[in-house]
Amino acid sequence: MEEVAIVGVGQSTFTRKCGVSVRELCFQAYKEAMEGLDITKDDIDASIVCSAPEYDKQRTPSGLISEYLELTPKPTFYVESVCSSSSTGLRVAWSLIKSGLHKVVAVIGFQKMSELTSREAAERMGRGGDIIWESPFGITMPAGYAMYARAHMAKYDTTEEQMAMVRVKNSSYGARNPKANYRKELSIDDVMNSDVITSPLKMFDCCANCDGSSSIIVARGDVAKRVSKIPIWVIGVGAATDTMTMSGRKSVTGLECSQEAARQAYEMAGVKPEDIDVAEVHDCFTISEILAYEDLGFAKPGEGARLIEEKQTYADGKIPVNVDGGLLSKGHPIGATGGSQIRTIVRQLRGEATEAQVKGAEIGLVHNVGGVGQYGNVTILRR
Amino acid sequence: MGFESFGTVSFTAEAKVADFVTYLEQGKVMATQCKNCGAKYFPPQMDCPRCLSTDAEWFEVKGSGKLITYTTVQYGPSGFENDAPYTLVIVDFADGLRIFGRLSRDIKESDIKIGMDVKVVPVKLADDRISYEFQRA
Ligand SMILES: [Zn+2]
């Protein structure tokens, strides 16, 4: 079977208000991904557009973006798994190439949250859970993760200070990332003294929704070697789901969708957690990063908080995590987020991550979760 | 009558399990059991993906359960602005039933303990709405 590689990556600056149209926003990421490649738009066999439709004003945006990038008459379609949409996009691109159907596929993720009024955004926030059984109680995305945080604290003695340490680390890298929305360095006190949103999560435990786009150009092995100086190989893809209802979860101290997606990805790649040189994990909240350490096998269950306390996830630590600032600093433009994580790992493996390069990184991992642990995607990349 | 009167804000009305709301009005919180294979469901469902039967019977969730986690929400979505703060919890009952909902406002956040015993009770809300909540057992 054909090998599959990523040959181009790009993202827009993530910002609270981008001030351009969705098609122009997507162009920013696509331009960065395509520049320097020995291919043009005519070599792209298909495009996959990723976003969360509840935030889109434009109906069926894939057709529009395909037109703007002059990718017609090549096939285009839309995929969605909320916050992990563009990792799902990469998974589908990988499959299309593996099947022999296509040689080059463009994955484009976006979200323009500023197109909604705050009233519209609050209305959508109310429909994120099961609309019959859980939304009528007023559940929100932060509340779902807060319940995981509370259970993790009770079972493993994880503290709010340890959660704050995740934000402190990520803010130190976000400050160096020119494409991040939030570029201030934060202290433990800043996080601990911020307003409670949904206990025990405070404002700085939470990422901010943003406008943004990302793009990944995926190619068949032979093409990748021809068009790219340093193709980055997709060696493991894992995906899994968990229930939409919180009451359906078997565990409230770890995300089973992450654990299962990781198991698949490690098995396909033939690597173990200790082989990973650098990782991007889905830190929509500080607790999410601690859960990810455990769910991905970087720490044993209950020992995730110790990993951050010992600074093992800093760039010079045992397993560097989110050394681009993570969602917490970059911001979270739902459909674009996975592509941004993938871009960071590709730049790390190429040795181009000038802001915070992990020396000699050869194998990287991307962990991208949709909803409150509802859709899990884990992708393993190798130089 | 369907789910249009269930919870602080409802988003849809029709469902084969709409009798859940009728039972709430009679003072009962119910779950379902598949008549064919015996599988028990909460949230209730008439359809059984395990044996493909569409025939289930109702049974009451009785006794006390254990609170397994909680959060107190300070900022609610649209329609919940005047409701916050409120506490969301997950509770484990016998037979593997796990139920999500709100904790009674009579229990202060500082008094909540993971592992505490609670019971599930129907409650009337403003504007003729109805729900259930968890109270100290
Ligand atoms: Zn059955």
Residue in B11, B43, B90 closest to A147 by CB? B90
For residue A294, give the DSSP letter: H
Residue B75: list chain A partners with CB under 8 A.
140, 197-198
Give Cα B126 distance to the centre of its chain. 18
Q: Helix (H, G, I), strand (E, B), or coil: what is residue B14?
A: coil
Residue A118: list chain B partners with CB under 8 A.
none
Shortest CA distance from A195: residue in chain B:
B74
Smallest CA–CA separation between B101 and chain A, in Å? 6
Q: Which one, of B64, B37, B58, lies nearest residue B49 by Cα? A: B37
Give Cα A261 distance to the centre of its chain. 14
pLDDT at A128: 87
Smallest CA–CA separation between B27 and chain A, in Å? 18
Residue in A122, A150, A245 closest to B71 by CB? A150
pLDDT at A198: 97
**If interface means Cβ-Cβ distance under 8 Å, which residues of chain B face chain A?**
3, 6-12, 15, 42-43, 68-80, 83-84, 86, 88-90, 98-102, 109, 114-115, 131
Q: Is the pTM of this model over 0.80?
A: yes
pLDDT at B81: 87
Counting one residue from chain A and one from chain B, the pairs whose CB atoms sit within 8 A come to 117
> Does the distance separating the beta carbons of B8 and A126 come in below 8 Å?
no
For residue A12, give the DSSP letter: P
Give Cα A108 distance to the centre of its chain. 13
pLDDT at A154: 98
Residue B90: list chain A partners with CB under 8 A.
147, 246-247, 249, 252
Looking at this protein, which amino acid is placed at residue A42?
Answer: D
Distance CA A119, CA B101 (A): 25
Enzyme catalytic residues of A: 83, 332
Helix residue ranges, H only, A270-336: 286-295, 304-309, 326-330
> Does the distance separating the beta carbons of A138 and B88 come in below 8 Å?
yes
Q: Which domains does chain A have, with CATH numbers?
A: 4-116+210-233 (3.40.47.10), 122-205+238-382 (3.40.47.10)
Residue range B19-29: mean pLDDT, rounded? 97
Distance CA A125, CA A197 (A): 14
Instruction: Give me the tens of pLDDT residue by residue for chain A, a chain 383 residues long.
Output: 679 999 999 999 999 999 999 999 999 999 999 998 999 999 999 999 999 999 999 999 999 999 999 999 999 999 999 999 999 999 999 999 999 999 999 999 999 999 998 888 888 888 889 999 999 999 999 999 999 999 999 999 999 999 999 999 999 999 999 999 999 999 999 999 999 999 999 999 999 999 999 999 999 999 999 999 999 999 999 999 999 999 999 999 999 999 999 999 999 999 999 999 999 999 999 999 999 999 999 999 999 999 999 999 999 999 999 999 999 999 999 999 999 999 999 999 999 999 899 999 999 999 999 999 999 999 999 99
Provide the angle, in degrees to the nearest 10, between the axes of the packed helices A160-174 and A286-295.
100
> Which pLDDT tens digit goes with each residue over B79-108?
998 899 999 999 999 989 999 999 999 999
> Does the distance separating the beta carbons of B83 and A138 come in below 8 Å?
yes
> Does the distance separating the beta carbons of B43 and A130 come in below 8 Å?
yes
Indicate the length of chain B as a whole number: 137
- A211 forms beta bridges with A15, A112
pLDDT at A1: 61
Q: Is A202 on the interface with B (CB under 8 A)?
A: no
Question: Are the C-beta atoms of residues A239 and A206 closer than 8 Å to each other?
Answer: no
Q: What is the 3-state secondary structure (H, E, C) of A129-195?
A: CCCCCCHHHCCCHHHHHHHHHHHHHHHHCCCHHHHHHHHHHHHHHHCCCCCCCCCCCCCHHHHHCCC
Residue in B74, B80, B131 closest to A126 by CB? B80
Q: Is A234 on the interface with B (CB under 8 A)?
A: no
Residue A54: list chain B partners with CB under 8 A.
none
